[in-house]
């Protein structure tokens, strides 16, 4: 039976920062390839940002409620770590896409990191900007190569690039975070692990 927010067991350890990749994680496309840029307009019935050529950029189905759950129930911060070469397009789209309460996705994101390069750089930078150590971060991405951030102590979850971040994926990620925190016996104010996390394999598809 699929995990849902309603069936998720009580958690003793909750990440302080949940980080998401963009392309094929929050939406089913490469923003720097498929979208041709702004000006973007918003279609409320479809929760879509429409680019200047009429191309629709929509989040994966569960993304709005995933953001809302993190904000309202978990009470932790949300960040973006993307190697897109079109950060202006990504920011414009995030500024239009909505949660169910009508708030914009961008309003719930702190310190978006959107630039080419290793995700190690993105996650280190987020630790510096937020003051949150890497071992307090849960990161969702669709590419296996980005598993390297585990060297920083980040909990990495590989998502299916055909589904993106789902309710079940978030639940499984939270349980994985809790399990590894218990195994490492870390308290919230402990220093970063700097690669001391036991090695493991994340299942999923690689692009």
pLDDT band at 187 (very low <50, low <70, confident <90, very high): low
Distance in angstroms (rounded) separating the CA atoms of residues 45 and 102: 12
Instruction: Tell me if residue 141 is catalytic.
Output: no
**Selected residue with higher pLDDT from 185 and 113:** 113
| Secondary structure letter of residue 82 according to DSSP | E
Q: What is the pLDDT of residue 80?
A: 99
pLDDT value at 188 more than 60 = no
pLDDT value at 126 more than 70 = yes
- Which of 23, 51, 141, 142 is catalytic? The answer is 23
| Secondary structure letter of residue 187 according to DSSP | -
What is the mean predicted confidence (pLDDT) over 41-59? 97
Pairing label, strands 137-141, 155-158: parallel
What is the mean predicted confidence (pLDDT) over 131-158? 97
Q: What is the pLDDT of residue 202?
A: 39
What is the mean predicted confidence (pLDDT) over 47-54? 96
Instruction: Tell me if residue 21 is catalytic.
Output: yes
> What residues does 26 pair with on adjacent strands?
none
Among residues 119, 116, 113, which one has the least CA distance to residue 158?
Answer: 119
Q: What is the pLDDT of residue 186?
A: 59
Residue % of the chain over a pLDDT of 70: 89
What is the mean predicted confidence (pLDDT) over 8-21? 96
Phi, psi dihedrals of residue 84, rounded to the nearest 5°: -60, 150
Q: What is the pLDDT of residue 190?
A: 55
Q: How far is CA 39 from CA 53, 54, 114, 131, in A?
A: 10, 10, 19, 35
pLDDT value at 20 more than 60 = yes
Name the average pLDDT for the chain.
Answer: 91
Q: What is the pLDDT of residue 96?
A: 99
Q: Which domains does the chain have, with CATH numbers?
A: 17-30+59-184 (3.40.50.1000)
Q: What is the pLDDT of residue 168?
A: 98
């Amino acid at each position: 039976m699929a995990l849902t927010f309603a069936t998720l067991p009580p958690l003793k350890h909750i990440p302080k920062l949940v980080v998401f990749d963009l392309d094929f994680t929050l939406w089913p496309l490469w923003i720097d390839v498929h979208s041709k840029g702004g000006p973007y307009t918003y279609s409320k019935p479809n929760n879509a940002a429409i680019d200047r050529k009429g191309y629709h950029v929509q989040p994966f189905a569960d993304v709005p409620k995933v953001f809302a759950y993190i904000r309202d129930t978990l009470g932790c911060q949300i960040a973006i770590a993307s190697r897109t070469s079109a950060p202006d397009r990504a920011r414009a789209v995030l500024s239009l896409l909505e949660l169910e309460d009508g708030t914009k996705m961008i309003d719930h994101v702190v310190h978006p990191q959107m630039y080419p390069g290793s995700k190690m750089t993105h996650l280190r930078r987020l630790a510096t900007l937020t003051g949150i150590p890497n071992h307090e971060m849960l990161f969702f991405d669709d590419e296996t190569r980005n598993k390297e951030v585990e060297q920083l102590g980040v909990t990495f979850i590989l998502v299916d690039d055909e589904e993106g971040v789902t309710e079940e994926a978030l639940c499984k990620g939270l349980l994985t975070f809790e399990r590894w925190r218990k195994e490492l016996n870390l308290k919230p104010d402990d220093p970063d692990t700097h690669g001391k996390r036991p090695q493991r394999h994340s299942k999923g598809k690689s692009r």
